Chains A and B, each alone.
Chain A
Amino acid sequence: MRTRFPGLALLVGLAIIASACTSASSPSASAAPSAANPCAGATAHSGGTHVFPTDKTKWKIGVTTDVGTVNDKNFNEYTFNGAKQAAAALGAAVPPVVVPKDASELAKNIQGFVNQNFDIIVTAGFNNGQATTCAAHANPDIWFIGVDQGPPCVTPDGQPDGAFKCAGDAKTLLPKYVAISFQEDQAGYLAGMAAATMSKSGTLGAIGGITLCGPCVRYIQGFQLGAQKVNPNSVLKVAWVTTSDFTKAFNDPTTGKNFGAQFITQNKPDVLFQVAGKTGNGILDAACDASILGIGVDVDQALSYPNAAKCTLTSAEKKLLLATSTDIANIVAGTQKGGDDHWDAKRDGIGYSPFHDLESKIPSGLKAQLDAAFAAMKAGTLKTCPDKCGDISTLPK
């Protein structure tokens, strides 16, 4: 036992001394502010102010995704498809896509596009928010589209605000950073109406991926209000796959299937809403196995996950593809503005998916009801989220 401590102490001591030496030297140099600079890696591109091509087929559009894979049948894929579609409409080159393998690579990948003098850089997912803000701050003359990164929170000098005071006005400080956000509760509301209409027992289920996911909570809050609008006596049971593990929450269909099967046995819903990404694909499978209806999330899951199409009633959609492609088109046309770019019913940014295989089983009035609700959302007269929007405590257990 005596040998343990000298060795460990030696290692720790040397490492600390080394760090102290390197950091001690920095204040004397001009590097002092860089120690507190959260954007150390983000630098401006070379070659003076960026000039956008006059020929719109020459625009260079690049996409960087969240950690994982581009073919996730969800966020990464549909954002990328939106960029591809916009590029095709312009006649521009197919956008390259860069996939980080590690959280530490997010900033580097964006910088890669900056260094290659790209005109529009699309970054998918909230995890890219900080790095995108940094890159936009360092490069105010090129366009950034951050999907699910709105509203941006910046300091008065336009850097990401680590303290979340959001004192800076992003749309003037970072005029070419378009931070897309969605009104998830509206999409959930429509799905809830469809669910309550199709339910015979009046017992509905919703499974969220992880309690830490704000958008997941809003989806389910909207779902509850929508269901109650159609059938005030309907009962909603809510469960969460996990409170801690993001992989399990959004990338683990096997867990989703087991969890879904158990949930169905316990709560006996006859319509089940999944808000758990790829894990949710397993939940849809479980719904199919139990011969109940499932409802997909984010994208039209009858298309993205054909395995469960036969029992997927509809999906609560965020129009990722539309938002991305529209913003790119607007940028090239010169009409896009920076800042929070909120996609709600007014802009057709959310919606419900077609009923596909189940079209014949849908009561004739449902579509009209959904369209009426959608119109009311557009008009701004329909409340789709409780006062504490995004607060998980409002949901049933």
Chain B
Amino acid sequence: MTAPSSSGSPGRATPLLAQIWAVIALPLISILLALLVGAFVILASQLVLPGGNLDLLLPLTAYAALFQGAFGNFDALVDTLISTTPLVLGGLSVGLAFKAGLFNIGAQGQFLLGALGAVAAGVALAGAPPLVAITVALAAGILAGAFWGFIPGLLKAVSGAHEVVVTIMLNYIAIAVIAAVVGGPLRQQGRPEAITPDVGNAALPVIIGNDGHAGIALAIVAVAVVAFLLFRTTLGFEIRIVGANPDAARYAGMRPRALTILTMSIAGALAGLAGAVVVLGVTHLMTPSFGTTVGFDSIAVALLGRTNPVGIVAAAFLFGALRAGASLMQIKAGIPVELIDVLQATILLFLVANPVLRRAFRLRGVKAGLETTETITKTYAGEVAPR
């Protein structure tokens, strides 16, 4: 909690340090403040609960268990990586769309469709050679997600239908599609409950520890690909220009419509890959109630990571660690898992309220950073469809 007081000095340090500080100051302060708020919530909840005596050290116990559960040993670290993986991919999905000025709330639906596509292909190829089964199942997940991103992209391009509204609706449709497919054609015959068969040979191989699946490597590859795409290709340049100013992009000869469709499709593909990785790497099957919050957490990850691929990795790692450590926190400290939601939401709240933070901590030098918050504002303001 000492970071705020030292906030002035790094500004006078070497330019490199100052640069790093300028980038990480706001997220770091937000995280520390959120932990502080979380501690107050833990203390306050003890007072509210009947028969609870006040244990002033409980926040420390909770955070220690949280840390131990996320980084305590090799297995814990692998757990963190597993939880991080879908968030990295989902964060890239949302982040890439942000870069093009699109708010992809549909990562959740694209994730679910990707999971469904992967499980469908995986079940069909459960007995095929692993190389074939895995490749096809992953491709199916990616394509299903891309399709679910393509729809809002197309609707925005041809009719101006706002992607926020369309993707939210598509999230619900995705839930219904999953229940219908898992409860219908994909259902394991003879079983009283609706559940898909196991994906068998399409399961991702374990590459680290007991259960660290190959999806972790895939996520790293995806980060490199997206970073390359955004900053080293013409397409990435166009995406960023369209996001910054659609009109300027059009005058410069770019085609915002095509780019909108393409960006949403790639974003969908990334979220779909996230879903595929979870079913092929972790659950290996699907129930119709396949619940997840990855799609929504991805929005937070993209914001926290400032839509930058490297920042997204860092943010996803933080959220992944919170997720992985939550189990031990509940076991050892008896703190409900909802505290993790409180922490995540508070971090975001502070980030969005960054002008207040900057004034409070006199962070004049740090980057405004959240160009993404401006993107949201712009998106919500309902700018017209790119023509």
The answer, among B194, B255, B337, for a CB contact under 8 Å with A212, is B194
Whether the Cβ atoms of B203 and A41 lie closer than 8 Å is no
B229/A40 in contact, CB under 8 A: no
Nearest CB of chain B from residue A197's CB, rounded to whole Å: 30
A243 at the interface (CB under 8 A from B): yes
Would you call B235 and A3 a contact (CB within 8 A)? yes
**B238 and A3 contact, CB distance less than 8 A:** yes
Quick check: is A96 within 8 A (CB to CB) of the other chain? Answer: yes
Kindly report which residue of chain A lies nearest to residue B86, judged by CB atoms.
A104
The answer to whether A102 and B203 touch (CB under 8 A), given A27-B130, A244-B179, is: no
B218 touches A244 (CB 8 A): no
> Are B337 and A16 within 8 A (Cβ)?
no
Q: Which residues of A contact B332 (CB under 8 A)?
A: 96, 116
Residue of A whose beta carbon sits closest to that of B333: A96
- Asked if B205 and A26 make an inter-chain contact with CB atoms under 8 angstroms apart, the answer reads yes
Report yes or no: B330 in contact with A8, Cβ–Cβ below 8 A.
Answer: no
On whether A19 and B218 interact (CB within 8 A), knowing A35-B130, A162-B126, the answer reads: yes
Contact A102 B294 (CB under 8 A): yes
Segment among B41-49, B54-62, B183-191, B360-368 that sits at the interface with chain A: B183-191
Q: Tell me the complex Cα distance, A130–B196, Å.
A: 12
How far is A396 from B258 in the complex, measured between Cα atoms in Å?
52
Q: Is A245 an interface residue (CB 8 A)?
A: yes
Given contacts A3-B259, A10-B229, A22-B218, contact A70 B336 (CB under 8 A): yes
A24 CB-CB contact with B under 8 Å? yes
- Contact between chains at B287 and A127 (CB < 8 Å): yes
Q: Are the CB atoms of B273 and A15 closer together than 8 Å?
A: yes
Task: Select from chain A the residue with minimum beta-carbon distance to B206.
Answer: A34
Interface residues contributed by chain A, number (CB under 8 Å): 74
Establish whether residues B200 and A1, one from each chain, have CB atoms under 8 Å apart when the complex forms. Answer: no
What's the minimum C-beta distance from A146 to chain B, rounded to whole angstroms?
A: 13
Compute how far the CA of A22 lies from the CA of B336 in the bound complex, rounded to whole angstroms: 37
A22 to B326, CA, bound (A): 30
Which residues of the other chain, B, contact A244 by a CB distance below 8 angstroms?
175-177, 179-180, 183, 288
Closest chain A residue to B213, Cβ basis:
A40
Q: Are A41 and B282 interface neighbours, CB within 8 A? A: yes
CB neighbors of A among B210-265 (8 A): 210-211, 213-214, 217-218, 221-222, 225, 229, 233-235, 238, 255, 258-259, 261-262, 265
How many residues of chain B get a CB closer than 8 Å to chain A's CBs? 90
The interface residues of chain A lying within 8 Å CB-to-CB of B198 are 38, 160, 162-163
Distance of B136 from chain A, by nearest CB (Å): 9
Q: Name the A residues within 8 Å of B225 (CB-CB).
A: 10-11, 14-15
Is there contact, CB below 8 Å, between B331 and A16?
no
Q: Which residues of chain A have C-beta atoms less than 8 A from B288's C-beta?
A: 212, 244, 246
B328 CB contacts on chain A under 8 angstroms: 112, 116
Q: Which residues of the other chain, B, contact A108 by a CB distance below 8 angstroms?
A: 79, 82, 324, 327
| CA A22 to CA B176, docked complex, whole Å | 33
Chain B residues within 8 Å of A113, by CB: 331
Instruction: Check: A260 CB closer than 8 A to any chain B CB.
Output: no
Contact partner, A35, options B205, B229, B278, B285, Cβ 8 Å:
B205
In the complex, per-residue mask of B338-368: 1 if CB is within 8 Å of any chain A CB, else 0:
1011000000000000000000000000000
**Contact: A115 with B221, CB < 8 Å?**
no
Q: How far is the CA of A12 from the CA of B262 in the complex (A)?
A: 13
Shortest Cβ distance from B290 into A: residue:
A103
With known contacts A8-B266, A18-B217, A103–B258 Cβ distance under 8 A: no
Q: Residue B15 at the A interface, CB < 8 A?
A: no
Identify which of B1-9, B23-31, B138-146, B300-308 touches chain A.
Answer: B138-146
Query: Hey, which chain A residues are within 8 Å of B222, CB to CB?
Result: 11, 15
Q: Is the CB of B188 within 8 A of A164?
A: yes
- CB of A158 closer than 8 Å to a CB of B: no
Among B69, B177, B206, B229, chain A packs the most CB atoms within 10 A around the CB of B206
- Least distance between A388 CB and chain B CB atoms (Å): 12
Contact A36 B192 (CB under 8 A): no
Kindly report which residue of chain A lies nearest to residue B196, judged by CB atoms: A162
Q: Are A19 and B183 interface neighbours, CB within 8 A?
A: no
User: Among B221, B269, B282, B331, which residue has the most Cβ atoms of chain A within 10 A?
Assistant: B331
Shortest Cβ distance from residue B187 to the other chain A in the assembled complex, whole angstroms: 8
B156 within 8 A of A: no
Residues of chain A lying within 8 A (CB to CB) of residue B188: 162-164
Q: Which of A7, A40, A97 contacts B266 (CB 8 A)?
A: A7
Shortest beta-carbon distance, A351 to chain B, in Å? 22
Q: Does B323 contact A (CB under 8 A)?
A: yes
Which among A40, A211, A390 has the greatest number of chain B C-beta atoms within 10 A?
A40
Instruction: Please give, as numbers and ranges, the residues of chain B lying within 8 Å of A41 by CB-CB distance.
Output: 210-211, 282
For A98, list chain B residues within 8 Å (CB).
Answer: 326-327, 330-331, 337
Is B162 on the interface with A (CB-CB < 8 A)? no
B-facing residues in A129-159 (Cβ within 8 Å): 130, 153
Q: Report the bound CA distance from A94 to B176 in whole Å.
A: 39
Q: A15-B218, A18-B217, A116-B331 are in contact. Are A23 and B292 (CB under 8 A)?
A: no
CA distance A47 to B131 in the complex (A): 37
A108 to B: closest C-beta gap in Å: 6
B287 CB, nearest partner CB in chain A, Å: 6
Residues of B within 8 A of A246 (CB): 175, 179, 288-289
Please indicate the chain B residues that have their CB under 8 angstroms from the CB of A23 in the complex. Answer: 130-131, 134-135, 204-205, 214
Listed by A's residue number, 11 A-B pairs whose Cβ atoms lie within 8 Å are A23-B214, A26-B130, A34-B206, A36-B201, A37-B203, A102-B323, A103-B287, A103-B291, A244-B179, A246-B289, A247-B175
